[in-house]
Structure 1
Amino acid sequence: MSAFVALLRGINVGGKNLVAMSDISAVFRESGFENVRTHGQSGNVLFDAEPAGRPPLESTIERILEDRLLAPMVVVVRSKEELAETVAAAPAGHGSDELRSDVFFLKHPLTAEAAFAQLPELREGVDSMAMGPGALYFSRVAALATKTRIQRVMAMPMYQQMTVRTWRVTTRLLELLEES
């Protein structure tokens, strides 16, 4: 068995797509995943499973959730090792107190290179974006956060194949995976 995190896109955010995390946990357990637990209310599910390769595991979980909860969901899965690699590859200063930092996790087959090539112009001196393994690192200067242009990325079609977690949540998910 290997440890994984499933990042469910767009649930329990802003009062939309409300799904009880206890229901999601139950679906995972009933589907044969082990050591299932959640973190927060926005779709972070930690679990153990036989390694099946990321795209097949994502497709399996999406199908199970849609069948059981009657709602389609985009799911991005990372193994403990993949998440550790993403955290380790973050740019210097990502997550510092001066910045508001996020990780945009990309769903296969979207690559960091392809996503980065499509990025609109961000605000110089406010926003920064860097590529990582299966992810983009986005930061904005905290004092200038209201001037960010990140909404331009969120309006793009490729954004539907991403799910965003704050740096704090990302590193906490890794800690939780390492504890299990």
Structure 2
Amino acid sequence: MTTMYAALLRGINVGGNKKLPMADLRALMEGLGYEGVRTHLQSGQAVFACDHGDEESLAAELTEAIEQRFGFLVDVIVRDHAYLTSVRDACPFPADRVEGRQLHVTYYSHPVDAERFAEIDPAAYLPEEFRLGERVLYLYAPDGLGRSKLAEQLSRPRLTKGLIATTRNWNTVVKLVELTAHGG
């Protein structure tokens, strides 16, 4: 059975580092046998259809192919349409009443629990807030991610140790659901 997926690449085309043209990424993914490959923006999202593997094996396959072809390591998270939809639908914040730049989702490679973030005092960062979901963290940052003190704390290496973590704004979260629903 063919499943629609989104590949989330961490840290490409940011600040002149790890340049990976989207046309080259599409060609690479098509060479791996993925169908309906389509990229979204320049910041590392691609949707594709595939009838083999699972999220973890596809992420490992894509990570290895990128390193072999482009010569640098890129962390990749792959998630299927059903999961992406569940993340959108489970948002604990009023997504329909805030701007997309105010709401972010950090996707994690593995489940995280509240204990990992116990050292953070939520009251100290209000009106910014975060909530955990299934392999995700939702962040409400009314002044945007670039000015968020809470985002800075949440991304500290000791809190993300052993994980791949990559963040997308709400507009991208919603767009990936749409793209994976329509076959790219």
TM-score range normalised by the length of the shorter chain: 0.7 to 0.9
Which secondary structure does the structure 2 equivalent of 1:10 belong to?
Answer: coil
Greater CA drift, 71-80 or 142-151: 142-151
How far off is 1:144 after superposition? Answer: 10
Q: Which residue of 1 aligns with 2:143?
A: 142
Query: For 1:152-175, what per-residue CA distance to the aligned partner results, in whole angstroms no more than 9, with x for missing partners?
Result: 222224166101000111101111
Superposed CA RMSD in Å reads: 2.2
Q: Which residue of 1 aligns with 2:171?
A: 168
Identity of aligned residues (%): 25
What residue identity is the alignment partner of 2:107? F
Compared CA separation, residues 145 and 97, structure 1 to 2 (3 A): farther
Please, what TM-score do these two structures have when normalized by structure 2?
Answer: 0.86
**Contact 2:108/2:135 (<8 A) preserved:** yes
Q: What is the distance in 2 between the residues matched to 1:164 and 1:41?
A: 14
Divergent runs of 4+, >4 A: none
Q: Which residue of 2 aligns with 1:106?
A: 108
How far off is 1:121 after superposition? Answer: 3.3
How far off is 1:51 after superposition? Answer: 4.3
Which secondary structure does the structure 2 equivalent of 1:66 belong to?
Answer: helix
Q: Which residue of 2 aligns with 1:44?
A: 45
**Contact 1:130/1:137 (<8 A) preserved:** yes
Matches within 5 A, 1:23-172: 23-94=24-95, 96-97=97-98, 100-107=102-109, 110-113=110-113, 116-119=114-117, 120-122=120-122, 123-142=124-143, 146=147, 148-157=149-158, 158=160, 161-172=164-175
Query: For 1:71-98, what per-residue CA distance to the aligned partner results, in whole angstroms no more than 9, with x for missing partners?
Result: 1110001101110011111113146326
Tell me how many residue pairs correspond in the alignment. Answer: 176
How far off is 1:56 after superposition? Answer: 1.4
**Contact 1:103/1:170 (<8 A) preserved:** yes
Q: What is the distance in 2 between the residues matched to 1:178 and 1:49?
A: 14
